[in-house]
Amino acid sequence: MLVQPRLTVSAPDLGALNWPRSVADATALAGVGRAWRRTKHHLDWINKQQVALCRVPAPTFAERARGEHLSAVFSELGHCPSIDDAGNVVVPLVHSARLPYVAVTAHMDTILAPSAPDDVRVKPDGTITGPGVTDNGAGLATLLGLARLLSDPLVENPERNVLLVANVAEEGEGNLRGIRYLVEDSPYGERIDRYLVVDGASLNHITDAALGSKRFELVIDGPGGHSWNDFGAPHPVHALAGAITRMTRARLPTQPKTTLSVGVVEGGTSVNSIPTSASAKIDVRSVNPAEIRRVQQAVEEAARKAVAAENQNASGGRLGCVLREIGNRPAAPPLPRNPVAECFHAVDFHLQIPSASDCSSTDANVPLAAGIPAAAIGCGGLGGNVHAPSEWYAPKGRDLGLRRLLLGLACLQMRS
């Protein structure tokens, strides 16, 4: 997840929408009081669940084992989980069959996976270390905590059921496939009218705008040959280097912030060969879809020109090049009205959590781009070094994150 701070919304802006009043009403609910009191008794259990689930590897596209592990825990807690066609674990908490759902989602997949259970450890001070422990071990453990705390309802006569979802394929080339299935194809999709995405630790953001991105793979192929005997044959690596140099000269505005990064470069077989192939993976991001299209055109032109230049100078054979889209995350500005974000701003005002709206690339991109109210938040505690083997999560402060989530969820269940 990449965070780009935007403006802070202060509670008075929400007065007309009556959310602060709803939060005050929600804190008085017996169900909320009960869940709040039980929170502290379950913290150890939640931390232990986090270690256990993070020890089950779940790299993007291979989340099945972690999904089955989570399903077993949800079942032990007395719920009825199922695994849908995309591989998402779906747990309905139904008050009445006629009601719509508020979905609380956390992605299961990680950039790095433990190669042995010991790669995920607990230090004497309680800090959990290892790949994926914050992103999104913290969110998944919170989902299990909610499943335990919500065995009794928060709201007696709610306007919404709750759907807990541990979804696949948020990271990298997963391309938000899990949440996309939930929004567009799942039997639940039509009945979910609010999405709350729980991702990472930080309580300081309420992500209600979607940073869009497009990812491409550029592949340049040629006849190849010997570096000495066939010198002069068109060279895929040299052409690729030229293409990257050209595309990184594209104009990238700071407003709206627009970025281009070549994240992976591959090609070649040995130091004394002209390779038959070279490739690069390119990530383009902006809040504004028009900027993404413009940079995409610059990437296409850079590839075409670099390959043409290499072919022109070559003594025999020709290079070919293909630019393939490998990822597309929709951009979305803030919705004119977003009850999920409004609710959490009011909750944070009430709990004195200093949070701000931001624009980021999360599972919330998909519902937001479809015009469905959604926000992504962190779940409390502290975390760092995400996407690195030294990733860590310190549970101190998790209590506040859980209380925040329970209160916000009660409000979203109460109000239309």
Contacts of 208 (CB under 8 A, 6+ apart): 334, 335, 338, 340, 341, 357, 358, 364, 368, 374, 375
Q: Which is nearer to Zn ion, 135 or 208 (CB)?
A: 135
The rounded distance, in Å, linking the Cα atoms of 307 and 272 is 22
Contacts of 382 (CB under 8 A, 6+ apart): 201, 393, 394, 396, 397
Distances in Å between the alpha carbon of 387 and those of 51, 110, 375, 383? 17, 8, 22, 11
Shortest Å, Cβ 191 to Zn ion: 25
Shortest Å, Cβ 38 to Zn ion: 27
Q: Which is nearer to Zn ion, 386 or 410 (CB)?
A: 386
Shortest Å, Cβ 170 to Zn ion: 6
Q: Which is nearer to Zn ion, 51 or 58 (CB)?
A: 58
Distances in Å between the alpha carbon of 132 and those of 60, 296, 410? 12, 31, 29
Q: Which is nearer to Zn ion, 203 or 323 (CB)?
A: 203
Going by their DSSP bridges, the two strands 3-5 and 356-360 should be labelled as antiparallel
- Six token digits for residue 217: 């793979």
Shortest Å, Cβ 112 to Zn ion: 12
Which stretches of the chain bind Zn ion, using CB under 5 A? Answer: 1, 135-136, 199
Shortest Å, Cβ 177 to Zn ion: 14
The rounded distance, in Å, linking the Cα atoms of 196 and 48 is 24
- Residue type (1 letter), 164: L
Shortest Å, Cβ 358 to Zn ion: 14
Shortest Å, Cβ 54 to Zn ion: 13
- Six token digits for residue 142: 């919170």
Closest CA to 58 of 148, 163, 143, 170: 170
Q: What are phi and psi of 332, to 5 degrees?
A: -155, 130
Q: Which is nearer to Zn ion, 23 or 405 (CB)?
A: 405
Q: Which is nearer to Zn ion, 1 or 91 (CB)?
A: 1
Q: Which is nearer to Zn ion, 32 or 176 (CB)?
A: 176
Shortest Å, Cβ 69 to Zn ion: 18
Q: Which is nearer to Zn ion, 199 or 310 (CB)?
A: 199
CB 364 within 8 A of CB 197: yes
Q: Which is nearer to Zn ion, 199 or 348 (CB)?
A: 199
Shortest Å, Cβ 4 to Zn ion: 16
Which parts of 51-210 are beta strand (E)? 82-83, 89-93, 101-107, 121-122, 128-129, 161-167, 192-198, 205-210
Closest CA to 415 of 21, 150, 11: 21
Closest CA to 362 of 329, 392, 384: 329
